[in-house]
Amino acid sequence: MPLVATLFAYAFLSNVAMAVVPHEPVVIGFGAAYGVWSTAVIATLGTVAAAWVDHRVFGPLIERVQHKKFFAQGSVGWLRARFGKAPFAVLAVSGITPLPFFPFKAMAFADGYPLGRYLAAVAAGRFPRYVLLAWLGLVIKVPTWMLIVLFGLMLLPSLRLIWKRPSVN
């Protein structure tokens, strides 16, 4: 039971909006220790739970401002028009690949993409990614110290954004 609770909670925290911690090293580590399928399923469930919270909390906020010029014109408007042609595929592909997911999440919320389809797209994208990461952990047997270093390196850009002080003129 500790595996389920720990991995579920970490997947939730690393995928909820505004998360700054990487999930990749943790999934690799859990894959090596607990197997590919259990790791991928539990991490996917935690991610889908985070997606549900995001949809319920941030969806209404983004829907309220989506009519503003920023969301309708320029490159954002162009991206939203393209996104609207295949939202499920865009969300799923961005979940599998290293592409940033948050812009597509915002577009889904701005367009009022239904909760059920959104959660299915998140699961369809993240599950194969988690299978691959867990499998890499099982096959390569990355040492724990190396996963910790990888975690730290992946965390650095987020920490820089958080700790960046405004310049004083």
Q: Residue 12: which pLDDT band, with cuts at 50, 70 and 90?
A: confident
Mean pLDDT of the chain: 78
What is the rounded distance in angstroms from the CA atom of residue 95 to the CA atom of residue 155? 19
Q: Tell me if 66 is assigned to some domain.
A: yes
Q: Tell me if 117 is assigned to some domain.
A: yes
Q: How many CB atoms are located within 10 Å of the residue 53 CB?
A: 13
- Could you give the count of Cα atoms lying within 13 Å of 32 in the half-sphere of its Cβ? 14
Q: Tell me if 161 is assigned to some domain.
A: no
Q: Tell me if 20 is assigned to some domain.
A: yes
Query: What is the rounded average pLDDT of the residues 9-33?
Result: 80
| Predicted local confidence at residue 144, as pLDDT | 65
Q: Tell me if 160 is assigned to some domain.
A: no
Structural domain including 45 reads 2-155
Tell me: pLDDT of 43 over 80. yes
Q: Tell me if 88 is assigned to some domain.
A: yes
**Residue 155 contacts by C-beta under 8 Å, 6 or more apart in sequence?**
20, 21, 22
Tell me: pLDDT of 55 over 60. yes
Q: Tell me if 167 is assigned to some domain.
A: no
Token pair 């948050």 is found at: 102
| Predicted local confidence at residue 142, as pLDDT | 67
Tell me: pLDDT of 5 over 60. yes
What is the rounded distance in angstroms from the CA atom of residue 149 to the CA atom of residue 152? 5
Query: What is the rounded average pLDDT of the residues 18-44?
Result: 84
Q: Residue 147: which pLDDT band, with cuts at 50, 70 and 90?
A: low
Q: Tell me if 102 is assigned to some domain.
A: yes
**Residue 130 contacts by C-beta under 8 Å, 6 or more apart in sequence?**
27, 39, 40, 43, 44, 47
Choice between 10 and 162, residue whose per-residue pLDDT is larger: 10
Q: Residue 150: which pLDDT band, with cuts at 50, 70 and 90?
A: low
Q: Residue 122: which pLDDT band, with cuts at 50, 70 and 90?
A: very high
